Amino acid sequence: MSVQTQIALQNALNGLLIGGTYATVALGFSLVWGILNVVNLAHGALVMLGAYTTYWLFTLFGVDPFLSLPLTGAALFVFGYCVQRGIINQVMRAPFLITFLLTFGLELLITNIAQAAWTADFRSVTTVYSGRSLSVGPLTLPIVRGASLLIAFVVAILLHVLLTRTRLGTAIRATASDQEAARLMGIPIARVYAITFGIAAASAGVAGGLISLSFPVFPAMGAGYTLIGFVVCVLGGLGSVPGALLGGLLLGLLQTYAASWLGPNYDNIVAFSALILVLLVRPAGLLGRVQRFRG
């Protein structure tokens, strides 16, 4: 195998590994946008809270980061449920701009509270297996990122099953399709909205926990992941779980190859250029559909 081929394959592997984390970030963003019709600008702040939850569980109690992911997801579910039911639900019938600005305000509030509580210092989760890799033929597979990719697939599958094979999922999809018809069928719309937001927050929390294993943790880290969630949703198709997974993997591959071939300053330029191209050719996204949400 030539050196160029080996480098290309390693870049593909690296792109898929980081793309899995992007997909986990985007799943919750897509869910809220598709069901509640809310572009949640506070989504990155939820990712940040998930990263800090994992960090503190590991630092204070010695809980392995991967084992703490269910606890992180549960904590963020409760937080997200309360935020939607107590705050966002009050303006659900307001114009789109109001919810847009509200979530932006929430992002600023959560970020500044985190900074006041934990300072702006960079923190990291360092375990005995951090930095270790496996050799797969000529390729190098980082253990942490490989496990993160696997967990991203598991989260996507669980969410897809929840939305397509359960009564709750049926209620969520019915609410997204026709709110008034769902209300006439006896579906508690406000509760469905709060549960949906809670599930999205739990997904963001898990993503934050995975991110904390590979990247620094600090209060302002969330803004970039809100943008990533938006880009992935547009690429893959709004409201589609497979679309979020595909969009995340595609974004990871684009950034990795662009950084390798053109330089580290070109990763986002190439990714956003691809975003514009997809919007021009297929505005609904690669796997998007006319319906607002599908599992």
Tens place of pLDDT per residue across the chain (295 aa): 678 888 889 999 999 999 999 999 999 999 998 888 889 999 999 999 999 999 999 999 999 999 999 999 999 999 999 999 999 999 888 888 899 999 999 999 999 999 999 999 999 999 999 889 998 888 899 999 999 999 999 999 999 999 999 999 999 989 888 888 888 889 999 999 999 999 999 999 999 999 999 999 999 999 999 999 999 988 888 777 888 999 999 999 999 999 888 888 888 888 888 888 888 888 878 876 644 444 4
**CATH number given to 3-281:** 1.10.3470
**Distance spanning both ends of the chain, measured CA to CA:** 41
Euclidean distance between CA atoms 274 and 293, whole angstroms: 23
Buried b (16+ CB within 10 A) or exposed e, 240-252: bbbbbbbbbbbbb
Dihedral (CA of 28, 30, 36, 39) sign: positive
pLDDT of amino acid 82: 97
Euclidean distance between CA atoms 288 and 46, whole angstroms: 25
Buried b (16+ CB within 10 A) or exposed e, 189-222: beebbbbbbbbbbbbbbbbbbbbbbbeebbbebb
pLDDT of amino acid 289: 60
Euclidean distance between CA atoms 293 and 253, whole angstroms: 26
Tell me if 286 sits within 8 A of 243, measured CB to CB.
Answer: yes
Tell me if 251 sits within 8 A of 232, measured CB to CB.
Answer: yes
Q: Is the pTM of this model over 0.75?
A: yes
Amino acid of residue 98: I
Judged by phi (left if over 0) then psi (alpha if -120 to 50, else beta), residue 214 lies in alpha
pLDDT of amino acid 1: 66
Tell me if 28 sits within 8 A of 239, measured CB to CB.
Answer: no
Gyration radius of the chain over CA positions:
19
What would the two tokens of residue 136 be?
């797969």
Chain centroid to CA 115: how far?
22
